[in-house]
Structure 1
Amino acid sequence: MAQSFAFDFTKLNYTTPNDKIRAVGVPDVPQRILDGLKKYEDSSRGYDAYGFEHNSHNGRGTILVDHRPEDAQVAKVYRMPVDPASGELEKITYFDLGTGRVISSITPIKGDDWRGTLRSGGAIMGMDVDGKEFFQFWRMWEDSESETVIPHIDGELDNKPSTIRIERLTHDDSIRFTSLLPSQTEDFFLFSSTEDGPAEWHVYMTRLTDSKTDLSSSSTAAFDLPRTRITAKATNGRVHWDASSVSLDNKYVLLTDIKGETYRPLYVLDISDPAALPAQPERLILPGATEREEETSHSWISFSPDAATPHLVYIITDAYGDFRSTLVFDLDSRTVLRHITASEPSLNAIRAIPWNIKRHVVLKDMLYMIANIDGQNAHYVMPISGAHKHEVIDVKFDGDGADSSSFYPSFNGKNGRAYEICYRLASYRSSGGLAYADLGPALERVQTDSEGKSFIVVTLKLYKQAQPVAPAFKTVPPKVIKFKSFDGLEVPFVYYHPCEGKKRVPVNIEIHGGPSWQSTSLRKSRIHGYLINELECAVLYPNVRGSIGYGRKYMMADDVYLREDSVKDIGAFIDYIGEHMKDELDAGKIFVSGESYGGFMTFACLTHYSNKLACGLATCGIADWVTFLSNTAAHRQDNRRHEYGDETDPDVRAFLQRISPASNADKITAPLWIAHGDNDTRVPFEQAYFMYDSCVKRGIHAELIACVNEGHGFNQKSVLEYVSGSKILFLERFFAKGSAV
C-alpha cells in the first residue's frame, strides 16, 4: 500500500483564488502584480531536449523537446527535425490527464514486439499524474512506424490530433518506476522499481524484441509490462539498486547501490544467462583507491560501445581524491588502465582537472566530459582513436548563443551520428534554448593555445523555433564572491546587484535545496527578475556547506550532527554583508527564502536570526526532521538518513528534534510566507501547516498556500503564477514597505 499523505483541509479557513490554490490568510493578489510578472513568466518558459529518437523514415532521426507554451497549464512534448534550418516544431502531446501531471523522462527506443508486431521507434515515457512522484511507464509510438496497425487499446490516451499513440505499461500508482536503461543492442532494457517493497529499489529486465508475450496485433486489451527482477531481495527489506550500463555483448550490467549522495558503491552482475543469475552482484573495489569506501561515490558509469573492448568501463569517481574524476577501468583484469582527469600528481592523469567532472558521455570514437569549475561548465572531448587519441581537448563555442554559460548536450548516437549534438543553452539572460552543432569538422581542426593546451571551436546554430521569449527587462550579470564563515570556511555566493553596486539596496538571500545542489548563474528563483528590476533588490545565492561542486569534504561538512553549521553560514553571511558590503547592500533590510532544503534553511534562519531579517518565504520546507524522516516516502528514507541522520537512533533522534524549526518555532518573530504541495510525498504538508499555525497562535503574521495536485515543487501555470504574485504582495507589505498596494 502507498503511504498516505492526506491532510484534512476542513480545519482551515481558506479561499480559492483559482481551482489549484487553497490560500490561508493571503489577501487577494492585485491584478497589477500579476500583469507586472507576466514578462518575467514569459521569459522563464524555456526549452529542453529529451534526446534524439530513432526514425526509420529519416536517417538523422528527430529530437524530442520539452516546453510549456503560454496557454498550457503543464509542459508539452514537441518534435523537431535535426536540421536547424527547417524551422519546424510539432506538438505531439495533446492528452488530458489533469493538470498535475509531470513527465519525468522520455527514453527513445528502437522498437518493441510486445503486441505481436514490430512497433519501430517511439519512446517510453515516465509520467506521474498528481505530484506524488509514483511515476509509471507509458509507450509512445506511431502507426506509420509499425508493421501492423494496432486497434484502439483499452485505456489508450486520447492524444488527437497528434499521430502519436500512447498506452500505459504499468498500472499501480503505489509503485515507482524509474531509471529506464536500454541495452546498447536495444533488444531489452533495465529499470528500477519499488514493486517488491516500498523501501526496496530493485532492477528489472524487460525484453523489447523476441518478447514472446501472449498478445496478438489484433488485441485491444491493456498491457502490463512483463519484467524479471535481476537483483536479489534484501534481507532487511531496504536496498536501492540502480542500473548504470550494459556491456555491448550483453554479458554484464554495472550497478550502484545508492546509499546517499556521497556513498554509491559499485557492483557488477553477470546477466549472460538471465535464467541462472548469480545470487548477488559482485562488489567492485577500485584498486589503489585512497579514499574511504563508505565515503566514495561512483556515477556516470559506462561500458565502451566498441566491440573490440566491450568490457572497458568509464567511471566518474572520487575514490582517488576530494573531487570526482574520470578514469578507465578494465573489468576483465580488474585494473585501472588510465586516470583521465584526476588532480593528484601521483596518478599521472592525462589532464589534471582539480574540480568535479559532473557528467561524461562515452561514444565509439570519443569521450565527452563536462567539468564543474566553480559553478561554470567546462567542456572537453577525448578522442579514443585517431591522431589525437587519448588527448583531452578543450571545447570552445562559436556562433549564435556562444556567449551562454551552460551548454548541455544530447548526442545523436542512436542514428550513427555521434558527433551531431543538440545543446541546451542557458545563461543569466536566458532560461534555455536549443542549438545544433557537429563536432566532426571541429575535430579535424584541433588547435593549440598559448599555454600549449589543445582546443577545438564548435560552431552553434540556433533552433530558432526552440528559443525562449527574449527578456523584455534588464538582465544583470552575476559575480561569484567568497566570504569566511564562523569557522573560517570559505563559502561562495552568486551575487546580483540591480545597479552594479552603485546604490545601497535591500537584499534577498535565496538558499538552494538539496542540500547537495549548487547555485550557479543558471539557478534563479522565479521572481528573480522582478526583485532586481521592480523592487531594486539585490539577490544573493549562497552555496553553504553541503553544496556540491567544491569537493567531497565540503559536501559532507553539514552531515548529521553538523546540520546547523550550514545555518550558521547564513548568520555569518548576514554579518559579512553588514561589515564588508555596507556601501552597496542594506544589512537592515534582508529577507531569506528557499525551496525544499532551502525551505528548511528559511525556517531555521528565522528561528535564529529573526531580529536580523525582515521576513522569510519557505516553499516545501522541512520543519521537523524526525517526522520528515519517519514519514517521507519509504523509497527515499535510507538515502535521506545517510545525509541527515537516522532518527531511529535515540541520540540522533534527540539531536534532530532539538534543532528542528518546529521545536523552535516560538523564536520566530518575523513575518512568514509558506507554500507547499498538497501531494508532497517528500515533506508532508502537515509540516507547513504546523509552522503556519505556531506563528499565528502567537500573533506573528503568517500566510499559507496549499497547491492542489502539486508535489515537492510546482509545475502548473496557474499555481506558478499565483505563488509568484502572492510572494510579491507579501514582500510589498513586509519587506519593500512604501510600495503601492
Structure 2
Amino acid sequence: MLMRMMVGGAALALCAAIGLGALAQTGGEAGAGVERRTRGALTLENVPETPPAVRERLRQYVNTRGASFQDWLPGGGMLIATRFANTTQIHRVDMPMGARTQITFYDEPVGGAAVRRDGSGDFFFARDSGGDENYQGFLMTPRGAVQLTEPGTRNQGFTQSQDGGLIAWALAPQDSQNYDIFLADPGDPASRRLILDGEGAIGPLDFSPDGTRLLLGHYISVTKSRRFVLDLRTGGLSEITPDLDVAYDGGEFTPDGRRIIVASDEGRDFLGLVEIDLATGARALLTPDLGWDVESFDLSEDGRMLAYVVNEAGASRLHLRDMRARRILPSPGLPPGVVFGVKFDPSGRRLGFTLNSATSPSDAYSYDLRTRALTRWTQSEVGGLDPAIFVSPELITWRSFDGREISGFYYRPRGAGPHPVIINIHGGPESQARPTFSSTIQYWVNELGAAVILPNVRGSTGFGKDFVALDNGARREDSVRDIGALLDWIDAREELDGDRAMVYGGSYGGYMVLASMTHYNERLAGAVNIVGISNFVTFLENTSGYRQDLRRVEYGDERDPAMREVLMAISPLTNAARITKPLFIIHGANDPRVPVSEAEQLLAAVRGNGGEAWLMLAANEGHGFARRENQDAQREAETLFFQRVLGLE
C-alpha cells in the first residue's frame, strides 16, 4: 500500500526565494513587468486576482468529493477514505449508507488504511508531510496513533501477517536505488529490525499463512519484474522463476503456502493471472487470453474465491472464480467505470471495492457472492450539482504518423460549437487515461464550453507490453507526434475549433505539454505545465536517488554520452525558444520526483526569450497539490488562464 511539512513563514519565504531565483537568472529585462503576490503558501506571478463570479461558479465543482473502500472492520463495517475538510482522512461506516465517522484528524492527507488482522479493530495507515513522499507508517489504536517507522525515512509497501502479529515494509533511501526490508511487531515499535539489505526497488507483497516466509517483488521496469521468497527464520532468499524475463504484478500465497498467485505476461502481450508452484516452478494460467490486462485481484482467506479486475480499453470488468470448482461465477452488473481496491471480508462471502465512473465520484460498494446482491455503502456529494449535466466521454481513435491507431476519451460539450479544445495528457508515462470522474473536466466542459480529449499516446499502459515500449529511449518523441496527429483529427472536426486548442498535463504529462509546444507551437494556443520535466538530463541527475535507476530504464541513461546527447536534444528546455504562446507553470516546492528546479529553469528560459509565463508555486506541496486550499487556487487560476488563452467569457 502506498500513501501520501514545510509549512509556515519559513517555507513561504523559501517559495518566494525560488521564484526570485528563477527571475534572477533571466536578468532584469525579463523580470520587468512580472507581478508577484502571495496567497497562503502560494507564490503567484502574473496570475490575476480571481473575480468573485469565477470563484462562486467553481465553488460547487470543487466541493464534490469521493469515498474509497479501504478495508473490512471486525463487526462487518468498512473503513473508507474521504474528505470533509481540507485533506482526505480515514472514516468508518458501520452499515450501508450509514454515517461516516471520522477517525484520523491530520493536516496532511492520510491513506492506505488496513485493519489489523487480530480482531482488535486497530488499523495501519500512512502519511507524509507537505508532499515530500517520506511516508511514515502508523498503527491507530483507541489510545491514539503509534508510529512504526523511523522518522525522516521514506517507507512503503506495508504488509501484515495473517494474524496481524507482524508487519513488514520497504524503506527507500532518498539517495539510493536499493531498498531495505524491515519487520516489526506492531504492538512494539522498538522491535523494528532490518531483515534484508535489498538490491533495487524491492518490497513486500504477502506473508505465508504460517508467517515464516515473505513474498517480495522487485520492480525493474513496466515490462520486467521479479519475485522472491524470503525465509524469515534463516534469512535465505530464493527467486521464483529466475529464468523468465517477464513482468509480474502483485502476488499472494495460497492458503497452503505452497503456491502463489500473481499477474504475469509470460508468453502474452497482456497480464493474466498465473498460479505458480513454489517447489517445482510449474505455472498454470487461471484466466483465459482476455486481450486486456488483469489489473488487480484478491484471493479469499480460505482460498476458495478469486476476484480479479480486467482493464478493457480503460473501463473495468470485475470477474469472480471459484478456485475449488475451477469455474467462473456470475459477476455483479456494474455501471461502466473503473473498479479498484477489491478485497474479500474474512468470511470470503462479501467483496468490497471502490467504483468510479465518468459521471459519478468514487464510492464504496460490496457484493455478496451468495445472494448476488450489490450494495452501495456511500453516496458522495457532488456539490449540489445536478448529476444529469455531467458528460460521459466517448472512446475515439485516430491514425498517427506511422499508421498506428491511437485512442483517447473525448468529452463533447453541448451545442454545435465550434468548441475550444483542452488536450489533457496523462503522466507516467506508464499510466493510462481512463473514464473516471473529474469535477475539473466537468467544469471545463459545462461551464467553459471546452471540449476535452484525454489521449493514450504510445507508451501508455493498458494496451499490451509492445505498445508500452514504443516510446522508450530515443523513440521518446514518437509519442509527441501522436499529439500532432490528434491535432489533425481536431482540425477535421466541424464542432471543434483547431485554432483554440491547448495542451494540459502533469509530471510526464507536463513534459508532453512542453514537447508539444516546442513541436506544434504555431498550432496551439497555450499550455499548462504541472510539475513537468523540462530537461531529462537535469531531471535524472536531481530526482530522488530511489527513483533514478527506475527512470533511466524508461527514459535512457544520461551517464552514457550518446544517450545524454539524445536526451539533451529532445528536452523542452533545449528548444524553449520555440515556445512563444502563453505558458502556465505550476509546481510544489517539496517535489521529490520532479524537483522544482525543473520549473525554475524553464521559467527563466521562457521569460528570457520574451515569452509570457504565469507561475504558481506551493511551499507546502510536492508532486501535485493535495491540500484543498491550494487545489481551489489552482482551479481558479487555470480558469483565468483558459479565459485569456482561449478567448472565453
Q: What is the TM-score normalised by the length of structure 2?
A: 0.91
Residues 394, 355 of structure 1: CA spacing in aligned structure 2 closer, same or farther, 3 A cutoff? farther
Could you tell me how far 1:545 is from its partner in structure 2? 0.5
Cα distance, 1:733 vs structure 2: 1.1
Cα 1:688–1:298, aligned 2, differ >3 Å: closer, same or farther? same
SS at match of 2:615: strand
Give how far 1:465 is off.
5.8
Please show how residues 629-668 of structure 1 align to structure 2 within 5 Å. 629-668=540-579
1:449 is aligned to none
User: What letter corresponds to residue 283 of structure 1 in structure 2?
Assistant: E
- 1:68 shift after superposition: 1.3
Does the aligned pair in 1 maintain the 2:90–2:111 contact within 8 Å?
Answer: no
* 1:379 to partner: Cα distance: 1.1
Taking the TM superposition and a 5 Å limit, the aligned residue runs for 1:228-307 are 228-232=193-197, 234=199, 239-271=200-232, 273=233, 276-278=234-236, 281-285=237-241, 293=245, 296-304=246-254, 306=255
Paired with 2:508 and 2:437, the residues of 1 have a C-alpha distance of 15
Q: Could you list the per-position Cα deviations for residues 608-642 of structure 1 after superposition, in whole angstroms to 9, with x for gaps in the alignment?
A: 11100000011111101011111101111111111
Structure 2 residue aligned with 1:392: 328
Instruction: Spell out, residue by residue over 1:439-468, the C-alpha distance to the aligned partner (whole angstroms, 9 max, x if none).
Output: 2223xxxxxxxxxxxxxxxx3222256555
CA shift for structure 1 position 89:
1.6
Alignment of structure 1 residues 441-452 onto 2, 5 Å: 441-442=371-372
- One-letter code aligned to 1:711: G
| SS of alignment partner, residue 382 of structure 1 | strand
Cα distance, 1:105 vs structure 2:
2.0
Gaps of 5+ in 2: 1-10, 24-33
2:162 corresponds to 1:193: no
Q: Distance in 1 between matches of 2:54 and 2:478?
A: 37
For 1:197 and 1:700, locate their aligned partners in 2 and report how far apart those are by CA, in whole Å: 36
CA distance in 2, matches of 1:551, 1:357: 11
Code of the residue aligned with 1:228 in structure 2: it is: R
> Map of 1:575-724 to 2, 5 A cutoff?
575-579=488-492, 581=493, 583-724=494-635
Mapped to 2, the partners of 1:409 and 1:128 lie a distance apart of 21
Q: State the Cα deviation string for residues 469-489 of structure 1 (Å, max 9, x = none).
A: 463361111110111111111
**2:484 is matched with which residue: 571, 576, 580?**
571
Residue aligning to 2:312: 373
Mapped to 2, the partners of 1:76 and 1:204 lie a distance apart of 26
Q: 1:121: which partner in 2?
A: 121
Alignment match, 1:346 = none
Equivalent residue, structure 2, for 1:424:
354
1:77 counterpart residue number: 90
CA 1:249–1:139: 2 relative to 1, 3 Å: closer
1:20–1:718: 8 Å Cα contact kept in structure 2?
A: no
Q: 1:394 to 1:420 in 2, by over 3 A?
A: closer
Q: Which residue of 2 aligns with 1:169?
A: 148
Question: Structure 1 residue 534: deviation in Å?
Answer: 1.9
The whole-number CA distance in structure 1 between the counterparts of 2:190 and 2:110 is: 19
Shift of 1:139: 2.1
Change (3 A) 1:572 1:686: same
Q: Which residue of 1 aligns with 2:140?
A: 140
**1:487: which partner in 2?**
402
Match of 1:106 in 2: 113
Alpha-carbon distance between aligned partners in 1 of 2:367 and 2:449, rounded to the nearest angstrom? 39
Partner residue of 2:83?
68
Question: Separation in 2 of the partners of 1:707 and 1:34?
Answer: 19
Q: Does 1:49 align with 2:69?
A: yes
Q: Structure 1: 5+ residue runs without aligned partners?
A: 112-118, 144-164, 214-223, 342-350, 443-458
Given residue 375 of structure 1, which amino acid in structure 2 is its aligned partner? G
Q: 3-state DSSP class of the match of 2:280?
A: coil
Which string of whole-angstrom CA distances, capped at 9 and with x for unpartnered residues, describes residues 23-50 of structure 1?
Answer: 012111212111111121122x111122
Match of 2:414, SS?
coil
Per the TM alignment, residue 199 of structure 1 is displaced from its structure 2 partner at its CA by 2.6
Per the alignment, do residues 532 and 195 of structure 1 end up closer, same or farther by CA in structure 2, a change over 3 Å counting? closer
Give the alignment partner of residue 159 of structure 2, picking from 173, 181, 186: 181
Q: Distance in 2 between matches of 1:132 and 1:509?
A: 29
CA RMSD of aligned residues (A): 2.3
Alpha carbons of 1:269 and 1:41: their partners in 2 closer, same or farther (altered >3 Å)?
same
Aligned match for 1:411, one of 324, 328, 343: 343
Contact residue 432 and residue 467 of structure 1 kept, 8 A:
no
CA positional deviation for 1:19: 0.9
Residues of 1 paired with 2:148 and 2:227: CA distance? Answer: 30
- Classify the secondary structure of the residue corresponding to 2:575: helix
3-state SS, counterpart of residue 571 of structure 1: helix
Q: Distance in 2 between matches of 1:465 and 1:703?
A: 38
Q: Which one of 292, 305, 310 corresponds to residue 257 of structure 2? A: 310
Q: Specify whether residues 331 and 476 from structure 1 end up closer, same or farther in structure 2 by C-alpha distance, changes over 3 A only.
A: same
Q: What SS does structure 1 have at the residue aligned with 2:149?
A: coil
Quote the residue 2:299 is aligned against: 362
1:733 pairs with 2:637: no
Cα 1:552–1:647, aligned 2, differ >3 Å: closer, same or farther? same
| Cα 1:683–1:598 shift into 2, 3 Å | same
Bigger Cα displacement from structure 2, 432-441 vs 658-667: 432-441
Contact 2:117–2:163 (Cα < 8 Å) also in 1: no
User: Could you tell me which residue of structure 1 aligns to residue 417 of structure 2?
Assistant: 503
2:357·2:436 contact (CA, 8 Å) conserved in 1? yes
* Aligned counterpart, 2:8: none
SS of the residue aligned with 1:601? helix
Q: From the CA coordinates, give the structure whose radius of gyration is larger.
A: 1
- Secondary structure of 2:331's partner? strand
Q: How far 1:14 sits from its partner (Å)? A: 6.4
Contact 1:433 1:468 in 2 (8 A): no
Q: Kindly provide the CA deviation profile for residues 214-265 of structure 1, in whole angstroms up to 9, marking residues without a partner as x.
A: xxxxxxxxxx54323232454xxxx221112222133432222211222112
| SS of residue in 2 equivalent to 1:550 | coil
Cα deviation for residue 15 of structure 1 reads 3.9
1:154 — aligned with what? Answer: none
Question: Mean Cα displacement is larger for which, 567-576 or 689-698?
Answer: 689-698
Instruction: Compute the displacement of 1:110 (Å).
Output: 3.2
8 Å Cα contact 1:325/1:356 also seen in 2? yes
What is the Cα deviation at residue 410 of structure 1? 4.0
Conserved in 2, the CA contact under 8 Å of 1:382 and 1:392? yes
Q: Does 1:529 align with 2:490?
A: no
Report the AA paired with residue 364 of structure 2. Answer: L
**How many residues in Structure 1 have an aligned counterpart in Structure 2?**
622
Q: Tell me: CA distance 1:88–1:465, structure 2 relative to 1, closer, same or farther (3 Å).
A: farther
CA distance in 1, matches of 2:332, 2:113: 29
Provide closer, same or farther for how the CA distance between residues 50 and 14 of structure 1 changes in structure 2, counting only shifts above 3 A. Answer: farther
Residues 254 and 66 of structure 1: is their aligned pair in 2 closer, same or farther, counting only changes over 3 Å?
Answer: same
Q: Deviations over 1:506-525 (max 9, x none)?
A: 1111100011111111164x
For 2:406 and 2:436, the matched residues in 1 are separated by 19
Q: Would you say 1:334 and 2:347 are equivalent positions?
A: no
Aligned to 2:40, what secondary structure does the other structure show?
coil
In structure 2, how many angstroms separate the alpha carbons of the residues matched to 1:203 and 1:79? 31
* 2:332–2:367 contact (8 Å) kept in structure 1: no
Residues 170 and 225, structure 1, Cα contact 8 Å, conserved in 2? no
